[in-house]
Amino acid sequence: MIRALLLFALSSILVSSCVISKRSNMSFVRNSQIDSDAEVMSVSVSTFLARPIVKKALQDDDDEESEAITKLVSSLRGVRVLVIENQHDFTKINKRLDNYLNRKHYEEWVSVVSDGDRVKLNAKVKSNKIKRLMVSVNSTDGESVFVRLKGKFSLDDISESIGTLTDSNLRKKVKKEEEKDTAEQL
């Protein structure tokens, strides 16, 4: 799965429809809110050109993981990623993010705080289809990552893909344990 995700990320970056910038590509983050010594990287990808490359690369793999990822990639229309490092205070940015999510009618699905790091998953749903997903990760060490996925997929699509990936990873772990036990017995 990691190989497939890396392949997707690399092909997305290499495609000419990709824009990489050192300025914010998310409307809720103003460049004036970012510290002068902070490092910013934003990537905007239109999946129009990236989708066939990813599908072709995954086509060679004939496993359940590749099929699940291909199905999700087929539903994507755009990906935006914003990474901010060495930011001293995310209070204003997080407040603007919350206002943006409320104004755009996103629903909060998951919010987890672990060791001071905060992960949030929000979705914009229309007619039982997920139109946009916004994932934000704020760490205590001055780094934040914001990912916005634009597409048209159902909760069943996501659930099925997660189930497939989880089952596949579980089978791989069991197989490794069995091989390890067999090797120890010899």
**What one-character-per-residue DSSP string does 56-103 give?**
HHHHT--SHHHHHHHHHHHHEEEEEEEEEES-S--HHHHHHHHHHHHH
Domain ranges for the chain, please list them: 2-155
At residue 140, the pLDDT reads: 82
45 burial (CB, 10 Å; 0-12 / 13-18 / 19+) is buried
At residue 87, the pLDDT reads: 74
At residue 107, the pLDDT reads: 92
Report the alpha-carbon distance of residue 52 to residue 75 in Å, rounded: 12
At residue 106, the pLDDT reads: 92
The answer to whether residues 79 and 148 touch, using CB atoms and an 8 Å cutoff, is yes
Nearest by Cα to 79 from 138, 10, 23: 10
Report the alpha-carbon distance of residue 97 to residue 65 in Å, rounded: 33
Listed in sequence order, the residues at least 6 apart from 7 whose beta carbon sits closer than 8 Å to its beta carbon are: 54, 57, 58
At residue 103, the pLDDT reads: 92
Per this entry, what is the length of the chain? 186
Show the low-confidence residues of the chain (pLDDT under 70).
1-25, 27, 30-35, 48-51, 53-66, 68-69, 161-174, 181, 185-186
The answer to whether residues 131 and 80 touch, using CB atoms and an 8 Å cutoff, is no
At residue 16, the pLDDT reads: 44
How many other C-beta atoms can be found within 10 angstroms of the C-beta atom of residue 28? 21
